[in-house]
Amino acid sequence: MLLTRFDYKIDFMGKRRIAMWMSAVLMIVSIASLATQGLVFGLDFTGGTLVEVRYKQEVELEPIRKTLRENGFPEAVVQYFGTTHDVSIRLKTHEENKEEPISTKILRLLQQQSGEQKVEMRRVEYVGPQIGGELIEKGGLAVLWTLFGVLIYVWFRFEYRFALGAIAALVHDTVIVVGVFSIFRLEFDLTVLAAVLAVIGYSLNDTIVVFDRIRENFVKLRKQSAIEVMNKSINQMLGRTVMTSVTTALVLVVLFTIGGELIHGFSTALLIGVIIGTYSSIYIASASALVLGVSKNDLMPVQKEGAEQKNEHLW
């Protein structure tokens, strides 16, 4: 509540060029990483088998990798899953043997390799390659249709310059969030895709709130320039924006730290998205509309024909 009572006078639009250059650099790095490295797709998209096992004692990964290489699984990706007792093994699609499924064979090999140490099977997942390909296609279409729907909605509610500004902010947020997963080689699965779509909704909500105040102030503050109106509008909504972002980020930090390995990707994507989305609502969306030439004349109510003459008769 205290944050909303202060009369902020921060010159956000005065720093818009610095912010936009910084955003351009982040987007270029993200796009370059996506073009050169791509994404580390999870089994949801690539297809294959995921086996998770637990050891009673701490275990080294290299002996496990060596055992799998020597027994027909050279491409196996072996990683710790939360602790040094838990190990996840990701395999590409293999032909299943009815007498001994892949998961059973993996468990048998690990038990032989570990000696007396007990190995417990925790989870097995299998996704066919055709299903994975369909998920990639449908996931990409979901993001594109979401952006298209946002464009139409903001265009009708505000003005086309604001619509383009909102889309610029959403594309900015999406590219940077996905770019972080590419740069740091984090696994991209269906939960992360859901988080990216949630980031689009979060960022749009923040942008709409700011745009609403800008539209109101363009009508009220008719003598002020577009930059002054935008600065005042953003400052008026700053307390609300900061409180929303901080409370959301606190929940996501808790999810990331104690929520378990299964939702690390989801919470990571959302946490990055909340930070980037708050920043883009302040700078990218409003600054883009300003660059496109939005002015008070674009948002003033249309005066009905004959209304001016009627007012003259009243006087």
Short-list 260, 311, 280, 308, CA closest to 122: 260
Same domain, 13 and 74: no
CATH number for the domain including 52?
3.30.70.3400
Range of the domain at 171: 2-40+131-299
AA letter at 132: G
CATH number for the domain including 185?
1.20.1640.10
| pLDDT per position as a tens digit, 154-166 | 778 777 888 888 8
Q: How many residues would you count in the chain?
A: 315
Residues 122, 53 contacting (CB under 8 angstroms):
yes
> Which pLDDT score, from 0 to 100, does residue 301 have?
54
> Which pLDDT score, from 0 to 100, does residue 220 have?
82
| pLDDT per position as a tens digit, 165-222 | 888 888 899 999 999 999 999 988 888 988 988 888 888 888 888 888 888 888 887 7
Torsion angle of the four alpha carbons 121, 123, 127, 132, in this order, in degrees rounded to the nearest 10: -130
Residues 273, 193 contacting (CB under 8 angstroms):
no
Q: Which of 60-64, 113-117, 157-161 is predicted most confidently?
A: 60-64
> Which pLDDT score, from 0 to 100, does residue 222 have?
74
Residues 102, 121 contacting (CB under 8 angstroms):
no
| pLDDT per position as a tens digit, 65-109 | 888 888 888 878 888 887 888 888 888 766 655 556 788 888 888
> Where is the domain boundary, 84, 102, 127?
127
Categorize the per-residue pLDDT at 273 as very low, low, confident or very high, splitting at 50, 70 and 90: very high
Phi/psi of residue 77, each to 5°?
Answer: -100, 115
Short-list 211, 216, 227, CA closest to 158: 211
DSSP letter assigned to residue 262: G
Average of per-residue pLDDT across 132-144:
75
* Burial of 261 (C-beta count, 10 Å sphere; 0-12/13-18/19+): middle
Please state the pTM of the whole predicted model: 0.76
Same domain, 112 and 59: yes
